Amino acid sequence: MKPLARLLLLAAVLAGALLLSVRLGAVRLGTGEVVDALRGAGDPATVAIVRRLRVPRSLLAALVGGALAASGACFQALLRNPLAEPYVLGVSGGAAVGAVAVIVLGASAASGTVALAAFAGALLSIVLVLRLAASAGRTLDTRVLLLAGVVAGAFFNACILLVLTFSDAESFRAALFWMMGSFSGATWREIGVLALAGGPALLLMMALARPLNLLSIGEETAAYLGVRTERAKLAAYGTASLLTAASVAVSGVIGFVGLVIPHVVRMLWGPDHRFLIPASVLLGATFLVLADVLARTVAAPVELPIGVVTAFVGVPFFLWILRRRGA
């Protein structure tokens, strides 16, 4: 099957997952009811459920899943580490510090203030990690970058624990649920912001596909074949980090998507980033949409945090990867 046909197949699977997500919930809807509601016809309550609740939630899950999967593919090539994922460089820790701080100060977990604070914290983390890595030498050493991310992540986790120590029970619970991830407060504004940020970022990643192919082999080989390695590394790091920051700001911390999905695509169709990145976007979007369906329905009427569902899938896969590499 040709690459274009594979992408079209993945897009069709994503469309099916989106339809399933809109149909399933506390009130189960038929396909005809969903189509009528999207056109503005039918029962007003059904129209409200579909247009105001389920469609925004499903689209946001798809955008976040695609963004995290693409970022994971980019980080794994940049760091030449198959176990790298978008949160390994401390972006999630910085975002969590910003979000937890304003929640403890009284902001609602679903408010725009929390999203802005989370994005600001993620930006702070990106700058801090980049400065730490740059202080080790003129070139951007990916090993130092990885270590700087781990150290920054540990520092931010300590900051989170410190802030939570002084929180009341209600703020503590709200902050904890935000950190486990959720799409329950999805809005069209968040979808628009993430789409506007993600579109150019994904286009830039596609432009970096050839340099990422060569960087995943080695920097010396990439430089010998004409890649401006420092510029490519900085562009890849900045793009993937900002895309992760925007995703965390609107959804909370959702792990393992960026680890699992690029590996699945790589095992099925190979490591060429010209195909790997768009395929990861489509498969990551499908995965997170279906994970959100499980989070809403498996223990209904209780809704599970989306990070719990992705972890139950990601942890066994992570262990399988480790065992396979050891073998």
| Rg (the chain; Cα; Å) | 20
What CATH code is carried by the domain that includes residue 180? 1.10.3470.10
Report whether 93 contacts 107 (CB < 8 A): no
Average per-residue pLDDT for the chain: 87
Question: What is the mean predicted confidence (pLDDT) over 304-320?
Answer: 84
Residue 41, pLDDT score: 79
Q: How far apart are CA 254 and CA 262, in angstroms?
A: 16
Residue 327, pLDDT score: 52
Q: What is the pLDDT of residues 143-165, one digit of tens each?
A: 888 888 888 888 999 999 998 88
Give me the helix-helix angle, 3-23 and 31-38, nearest 10°: 90
Q: What is the pLDDT of residues 243-297, one digit of tens each?
A: 998 898 888 889 889 888 998 898 889 889 999 999 999 999 999 999 999 998 8
Helix, strand, or coil here: 5? Answer: helix
* Percent of the chain at pLDDT exceeding 90: 29
| Nearest-5° Cα angle at 166, 162 to 167 | 110
Domains in the chain, number: 1
Residue 325, pLDDT score: 63
Q: How many CB atoms are located within 10 Å of the residue 113 CB?
A: 17
State yes or no: pLDDT of 46 exceeds 60: yes
State yes or no: pLDDT of 111 exceeds 80: no
Residue 326, pLDDT score: 60
Which domain, by its residues, includes 256?
Answer: 3-326
- Both tokens of residue 236? 């890849």
Q: What is the pLDDT of residues 219-247, one digit of tens each?
A: 888 888 888 888 888 899 889 988 998 89
Q: How far apart are CA 19 and CA 25, in angstroms?
A: 12
